[in-house]
Amino acid sequence: MPTVIVLIVLLLALTYLAIAVFSKKKKKKSDGKKLPPAPKWRLPVIGHAAYLDKDKPFEQIDKWSKELGDVMTVHFGMDPVIVVSRERLLNEAFLKKSSNFSGRPSLFVHESCWGKGLVIRDGKEALSLRSFIMSTIRQRIVSSADCIQSLVSTETSHLIERLTARIRDAEASTSSASESFATTSTMTSSFATTSIEDDLFYVVGNVMTQLAFGRRYDHGSVEFRNNASWLTTTTELMQRTAMITFLPWLRWIPYFKYFEIKRKAAEVHATMIDDIQIRRKSGDYLNHSQHDLMSVFMRRIDEEAERIKLEDDGSLFTDDMLARIMTELFFAGIQTECNTFGWAFLYLAIHQDVQEKARQHIWNEIGREGEIRFENRRNLPYIEALVAEVQRIANVAPFGLFHKNHEETTLDGYTIPAGSIVMMNLYSTLLDESVFEDPRSFLPERFLSPSGELDQRAMKRSVPYGVGSRVCMGEIIARTELFTVIGSLLQKFRFSLIEGEEYSTEQKMQLTIQSKKYRLRIDLA
């Protein structure tokens, strides 16, 4: 009997919600405003979420965008989300109307677990914080000894040494085994392998660690790997809890592991706070020769503390905010960059012709020993085109972060109510057949002119970092890393598939689009 009563109550609740939704929809129509179209068969409570494959939600969103147009409404739970697709509308919303569409909506999981850091903060205070972070990053672009390029080049050199040693060891092993079996007909073979994302984790991680904290770890460091293990755990948990953002009541269902990610977030935050307190006790951050982000931010915190005493005002420059920003930088910077490298070398191993063309291009332009630096990319247009194509086809962040429009406006003739949740559909934009011919093929040449120069117009039409005033803050870091590392490794090594192992370019999403884990054979070029 209790079960029957529960079912009846649930049915009544769903019916009530369905009527409420219908009434709300009817009222909107009667307002005389033309709202963006939505897919059919919207379900009570959960909306259109039921139709999204958890591993490939981007495919259904892409399908709907082709059916309904470049501006549409998809209901995630009870919340209508305005989905904006393809170049024309992205530019209109996030460039022409950037000030209106630069807001961030309230996101339950992020705010209740991680707090309001910089990523989801809205308003003038967010602009001030973002400006400060960007200014600090720009300083590291032009500084000499420890500029971003210098950090990337140094870490890439360490990786090259490590991979070279691995190849030498494999060759020595093969030679030794061949001598042992010289009197028999049995031959042995050995070759070096790389799980490229794991190897590049130390390059990406060390660049971020030095920029953020002013310290680095040896490649292969178990301590660093253990310290950063929260990244993998958090990614898995956040994927599980994604729908709770729109259906908060799901947090009470154990499957979604909401309270587990809440505990993990608290642990990470406490670790960041401990690091800040250690720096504060040592006082080393007060030395202005220390210009890692933590030191610069802590000096600003001290300045703000003095100002607040005089002006009796508040400030976002606090230890708590610094800890949140550090967490966001690490999570966004390391995960997405390693994923992109994973796709890059998978495609290069599959497309040996592209890999060889890139290598010959490097050798012809700067030789086998010349240093590859981002500022010299004009001499290596094929490598820059290759990086652009990797980012386009990998499509690692297919939707970016949610936006919010501050005021009511129109897009493509449709009314966008003030305070709407707005999503960039970068997936469909980067695979738009009207812009990129044969978009699912790996063709770096699409970013080159007939004469072999970089096609700047084509480059501008590929927007893996998003569009507008809230474009990814780490863009210059990521571009420097991708160009330098891919070019440097192709200059020194050959990467190929290992016979008997399985490879796939099938895309699956775990917060970002990731490739299936794989190993490659690696030889000296």
Instruction: Round to whole Å and give the CA distance between 343 and 350.
Output: 11
pLDDT at 243: 87
Burial of residue 137 (number of CB atoms within 10 Å: 0-12, 13-18, 19+): middle
Exposure pattern of 182-217 as b/e (b: 16+ CB <10 Å)? eeeeeeeeeebebebbebbbbbbbbbbbbbbbbebb
**Cα end-to-end span (Å), the chain:** 74
Q: Using one digit for the tens of pLDDT, what is the confidence trace for 446-480?
A: 999 999 999 999 999 999 999 988 888 888 899 99
Please classify residue 417 by burial: count the beta carbons closer than 10 Å to its beta carbon, then call 0-12 exposed, 13-18 middle and 19+ buried.
Answer: middle
pLDDT confidence bin for 18, thresholds 50/70/90: low
CATH number of the domain where residue 305 is located? 1.10.630.10
Tokens found for residue 94: 């996030």
Q: What is the mean pLDDT of residues 85-114?
A: 93
d(CA 515, CA 373): 27
Calpha distance 194→227 (Å, rounded): 22
Q: Residue 392 falls within a domain, yes or no?
A: yes
Burial 288-326 (b: 16+ CB within 10 A, else e): eeebbbbbbbbbebeebeeeeeeeeeebbbebebbbbbb
Considering its fold, how many domains does the chain have in total?
Answer: 1
Query: For residues 186 and 167, which has the higher predicted lDDT (pLDDT)?
Result: 167
Per-residue model confidence (pLDDT) at position 1: 38
Min mean pLDDT across 48-52, 122-126, 319-323 is at 122-126
Residue 292 DSSP symbol: S
pLDDT digits over 251-270, tens only?
999 999 999 999 999 999 99
Distance CA 423, CA 435 (A): 20
Does 14 reside within a domain? no
Pairing of strands 512-514, 508-510: antiparallel
Does the pLDDT at position 220 exceed 80? yes
Kind plus residue range of the DSSP H or E element containing 302: helix 293-311
* Mean pLDDT score, 390-400: 95
Name the strand (E) or helix (H) holding 72.
Answer: strand 71-76
CA atoms within 13 A on the CB side of 450: 0
Rounded Cα distance between 462 and 388, Å, is 8
472 is in an annotated binding site: yes
Single-letter residue type at 422? V
**Residue 8 counted as domain residue:** no
Q: Are 83 and 425 in contact (CB under 8 A)?
A: yes
Q: Is there a domain that residue 505 lies in?
A: yes
Predicted local distance difference test score (pLDDT) of residue 144: 61
Residue 12 located in a structural domain: no
Question: How, if at all, do strands 79-85 and 421-425 pair?
Answer: parallel
pLDDT of residue 117: 86
Residue 137 pLDDT level (bands cut at 50, 70, 90): confident
Q: What is the DSSP letter of 436?
A: S
The boundaries of the domain holding residue 351 are 33-524
Mean pLDDT of 121-127: 80
Residue 467 neighbours by CB distance under 10 Å? 20
Indicate if the pLDDT at residue 381 is higher than 80: yes
Q: Residue 507: pLDDT above 90? A: yes
Q: Sign of dihedral through CA atoms 462, 467, 469, 474?
A: negative
Residue 187 corresponds to which tokens in the numbers above?
């031959």
| Per-residue model confidence as pLDDT tens digits over 143-160 | 666 799 999 999 999 999
Say how far apart CA 136 and CA 129 lie, in whole Å: 11
- Examine residue 434 and state whether it is found in any structural domain, yes or no: yes
Structure tokens at 377: 């990319």
Exposure of 270 in the CB half-sphere (CA atoms within 13 A): 6
Q: Is residue 235 domain-resident?
A: yes
User: Do residues 518 and 496 touch, judged by C-beta distance below 8 A?
Assistant: no
Average pLDDT, the chain: 88
Reply yes or no on whether the pLDDT at 106 is more than 60. yes
Closest CA to 199 of 341, 368, 336: 341
Tell me the percentage of the chain whose pLDDT exceeds 90: 66
pLDDT band for 315, please (50, 70, 90 cuts): confident
DSSP run (H or E) holding 365: helix 352-366
Q: Which two tokens stand for residue 304?
A: 């703000």
Q: Is residue 176 part of a domain?
A: yes
